[in-house]
Structures are given as structure tokens and as C-alpha cells.
Amino acid sequence: MLKKLEKMWRGLQLLAVENKEIQNLMPINNEWKIIKDTLTVLEPLEKATVYLSTARYLTIADVRFVFLGILDYLNDLIGSEEFSQNELASSINQKIDDYWKYIDEQTLVAAILDPQTKLTLFESGTPTTNAISTVTALLRSYHVVTSENCKKTQDENNYSSTREYFARKQYHLSESNLRQSSISSIASSISLEETFPELDRYLALLCDEKADPLLWWQAHQQEFPKLSLMARDYLCIQATSVACEQLFSVAANTITKT
């Protein structure tokens, strides 16, 4: 509404010259400055809404990117003495801060795995170190399935009879028990060494601001096997539910209740 008023301002001024009633309703200079400053505050919020609501696939990492941009923008306005809507900017800034804990937790891993941003969205020092530690810890639960393992699984599932099925199960059970003791003895010595090189090589690459995250990981899955598995899990999370809502709306045009 305020944006429409801004676009119609010149026309309204012309109408006010000939119409006294309209002239009485026209905002004075101080009021007009408040309107313009309000538009200035709301500008990044409007752009964020449009950007996150487009049909283009956006990941949850984009949410962190957008909100950090909004916070920086609002902080600049709050520090301006000539700006009339400092209180409004401060109120919006405080509301985002209230929710930042949840935004931070939900977008941390995805932001690092986004080749467009990586660590650029984290402050240097402790925040960056903690973010890397979080990703590194999660990498321990990812295991790369090789073609040999797949072939072994297929061979194990080929049985000529039910008796062979149970005989094979007993064999694997005894074999598993023998391995368990050796696995337990070395479990405590397993560290993050196997995951660090892959993560370090990924972070050493320059950010590609024009990259499509999902296509980028598809092209680099051989180079970063574990990270690519993690990227599939986190970057498949959409920034908003708009794409789903649009899909249902489009489907309603072709499939109706009647």
C-alpha cells in the first residue's frame, strides 16, 4: 500500500492543486519522510519474501544468507541519526534476534555445504570453529557404500534353499562375533582424521556464487564422497513450502473435485 502511494505521489499532487479535500488529506513534509523511511525499512523484507517465494529451488541455506543480509541492513539504519524510523528498524531487528537461535541451528550445516557461501556466513574465530566442528562430528555417521559392498550384499541374498538361508545366517553370526571383539578394541581409537581431509579440501576451494548447490554436488560427488551424501540430506530441505503450495495450485487447475 505504501509503495503504491509512493508511485501515485506525483499524480496526487496534481489532483490536490484543484481539489481542496484531497489537499487536506495529503501528508505534510514530516509525515512524508516517515512514509519514505518506513518503505526503506520494509524494502529488504519485501525482497526476501519475493526471493524465497520464487519457483526456483532454494535450499534452507538461503534462509541464513537472506536473514543475515536483513540484519546488517537494519543495523545500518538503526545507527543513522537522520533516520526517522529507528524504533521500527530496532523492533524488527529484535524480533529476528529472538528467532535467530532456531535459524542458526537449522541452517548451519546447509550453509557450509552450500558452495556459494561455505564459511562466509560465519564470523571468524569461535563461530567458524564451532561450525566446522559440527559438520565434522556429523561426518562420522556417514559411510560411503562401494560397488564391492553392493555386490557382496547381492551375493549374500542369493540362496538356493531355505536351509541354506539359515545356514548362511549362522555362519555370518559366528563371523560377526569374532569381528566384534576386534572392532570394540579399536573403536576408541577412531578419530576425525578420515573426515578432516575431505572437509578441508572442500573448504579450501573458492566459493562459487553462480553455482547451483545440488548440481555442484552431483558433479563433485566422486571428489567428496562423504560430504556429497551429507549435502543430499541437508540441501534437499527447501527454504519455504511455497514450491509445494504452487504445485498443489497447479494440480488444481487440471484435477478438480468435480
* Predicted pLDDT of residue 185: 41
CA pair distance 125, 224, nearest whole angstrom = 25
Which pLDDT does position 131 carry in this prediction? 92
> Residue 38: which of 91, 89, 76, 72 has the closest Cα?
89
Residue-level pLDDT at 179: 42
Q: Could you say which residues of the chain have pLDDT below 70?
A: 1-2, 5-10, 12-14, 55-56, 145-196, 256-258
The pLDDT of residue 187: 34
CB-side neighbour CA atoms (13 Å) of 174: 5
pLDDT for position 258: 56
Distance CA 104, CA 230 (A): 18
pLDDT of residue 57: 74
Q: pLDDT at position 60, please?
A: 87
Residue with cell 529488504: 44
Residues for the chain: how many in total?
258
Angle separating helix axes 126-139 and 86-113, nearest 10 degrees: 40
> Both ends of the chain: CA-CA distance in Å?
37
DSSP code at position 145: P
**Whole-number pLDDT of residue 119:** 92
